[in-house]
Structure 1
């Protein structure tokens, strides 16, 4: 009697873990789609029903530790790159498999884009699509889940 109960509890815990992994919430390693280089660790969290992503650590060994977002034109102007909010206002779409409606910041250029986040491969990767106007007109990066 105890053994089937233990198996059921283990399966339930695994299914909950898989569901949690299929959301963008977590720590991600961003990878530049043009160069293939690892850029930063970005932590995505849910705050007030929206997803927010902040740079937790920059991975470029040549990055200046005191760098700021000098090209930003909004409230992030001259804010430190470490801790900078790069994803704002993203929400789950109708099916809960895609998150949209927010913006992503390219801190190197200071430009913001609409964003679509799609967990793939069981949530181990995140397709991050930045675009202007229509999703067809944009770029996609594939980020890797760290935790």
Structure 2
């Protein structure tokens, strides 16, 4: 009986990292976006999943103290025009496709432009490579986002 308890304890301890990896096997969570030009944090984006599609909303912006801390999307068009960037959905429609999430769109609030998008989890789910592009993925830019939670 004692050996059975030890075996169960060991099996539980070995399974814990697998559970943690499974939780990180999805982009769902909060991500710190890193500017691909400056290398500095830009925002926190919460990614959720509904009906098999991912959506990302800006929860926080990292801006210098002398800048507006709740800016509006002045460059956006349509319903997003002059709306607060914090709380704005900037990523939508990504669906799992093998090891990637594809078929989505991403908004660059600074330019007010929407691009096709794809994303790939890296480093056991601790990083997310997000690519925005026009036409084909080779014609675009990538950012590496870092998992916050």
TM-score by length of 1: 0.92
Residue 11 of structure 2 is matched in structure 1 by 8
Residue 48 of structure 1 and its aligned partner are, at CA, apart by 2.2
Residue 110 of structure 1 is matched in structure 2 by 112
1:71 aligned to 2:75? Answer: yes
Residue 143 of structure 2 is matched in structure 1 by 141
Q: Tell me if the contact between 1:38 and 1:60 (Cα under 8 Å) persists in the aligned partners.
A: no
1:9-49 CA distance string (max 9 Å, x none): 23333212202212211111101101111100111111222
Whole-angstrom distance in 1 between the partners of 2:137 and 2:44: 24
Question: Residues 10 and 76 of structure 1: is their aligned pair in 2 closer, same or farther, counting only changes over 3 Å?
Answer: farther
Q: Is there any run of 5+ residues in structure 1 with no aligned partner, and where? A: none
Q: Is there any run of 5+ residues in structure 2 with no aligned partner, and where? A: none
1:89 aligned to 2:65? Answer: no
Post-superposition, which runs of at least 4 consecutive aligned residues in structure 1 deviate over 6 A? none
Whole-angstrom distance in 2 between the partners of 1:4 and 1:131: 51
Q: Tell me if the contact between 1:129 and 1:135 (Cα under 8 Å) persists in the aligned partners.
A: yes
Whole-angstrom distance in 2 between the partners of 1:29 and 1:66: 17
Residue 61 of structure 1 and its aligned partner are, at CA, apart by 2.5
Q: Which structure: larger Rg?
A: 2
Whole-angstrom distance in 2 between the partners of 1:88 and 1:106: 12
Spell out the pairing of 1:4-43 with structure 2 (5 A cutoff).
4-43=7-46
Q: Tell me if the contact between 2:36 and 2:142 (Cα under 8 Å) persists in the aligned partners.
A: yes
1:37-90 CA distance string (max 9 Å, x none): 110011111122210000010011244133111211133222211111010111
